[in-house]
Chain A
Amino acid sequence: MNFNNNMKYVQKIHQTMENHNILLAYDGLISPEIITAFTEIAEKNFNIDDETLMKKVYHVMVECLQNICKHAVDIDTGKTSNPGKGIFLVAFDNNEYRVITGNAILNQNVTEIQENIKEINSLNEKEIKELYMKTLKNDLISDRGGAGLGLIDMARKTKQKIGYYFETVNDKTSFISLSIRIPKE
């Protein structure tokens, strides 16, 4: 085995990204600076002419990135980390944008988040609007910011179900992956 053979994976990653039409891929700390950088990339490089669509993509990116930044925990220890770590992808495929995230959360929070998403996914457009208004009205502002309103708002603005996947990592943490679709109308 030589050094050059070991580097084949770089081309594989590149090929995978091409095949899945991935516009942006990142795995690491999601700091406020990263959030600013990624949203600027979206505005400058995604070439979305439709302003409404651009705003939706931008919004979903911000909410997803801030969720990871504020709520992701260390995957081994379950300790709060600020900013949090996660994987973040934006793809354009089948005439829709797709924002995909993955990060660690505490096992004890899995059920609540799962139930939240299931509830949101079970609602029609009008019911989501009602839930959004109710949550906005009653939620207190906090320094960490509740992830609940963000999920509801993404479903409201994209009019799509939230894709999700959970897998237990160890006795403290689970990996949560979310997928938000933003169709081109």
Chain B
Amino acid sequence: MKPLNIIETKQSPKVILDKEKNIFEISGKSLPENVLMFYTPIFNWLNEYIKSPNPETVLILNITYHNTSTAKAILNILRILYKLIETDKSVEIHWYCKENDEDAIEEGEDFAELAQIPIKIRHL
């Protein structure tokens, strides 16, 4: 499966989705002009990936800022990955934020609750 690499810009995060290297990461700021346009290739890639996933999938979300439209996109990503749980594959989300950033910690917990997927809060 071909990896998906997207270079970071001022409005959108860096994305690495690489099945072979087992690296799944979204990091940076996310406030793209058109959330759907930016995230659709990511949704498509993940929907392909879950058809024949690696035994263990760890998605690193190191999103330093995201707007509310991005929140919906993140939730959608987690919903796709939730299907791995349904098929007894291991999946974990590592939600990176600063230790004192209570808003960001809460957001990570909110996503975990809404998507019913385990999220580990990792401090930067």
Binding site for B on A (CB under 8 A): 32, 35-36, 51-52, 55-56, 58-59, 62-63, 66, 69, 132-133, 136-137, 139-143, 145, 149-150, 153, 157
Contacts and interface: CB of A to CB of B under 8 A. Distances in A.
B114 A52 contact: no
Interface residues of B, number: 26
B76 interface: yes
A59 B67 contact: yes
A149 B72 contact: yes
Contacts of B34: 143
Interface of B: 10-11, 31, 33-37, 39, 65, 67-69, 71-73, 75-76, 98, 100-103, 110, 113-114
Main secondary structure of the interface of A (DSSP, over half): helix
A139 B72 CA distance: 8
A52 B39 contact: no
Nearest to A139: B72
A141 B69 contact: yes
A36 B35 CA distance: 16
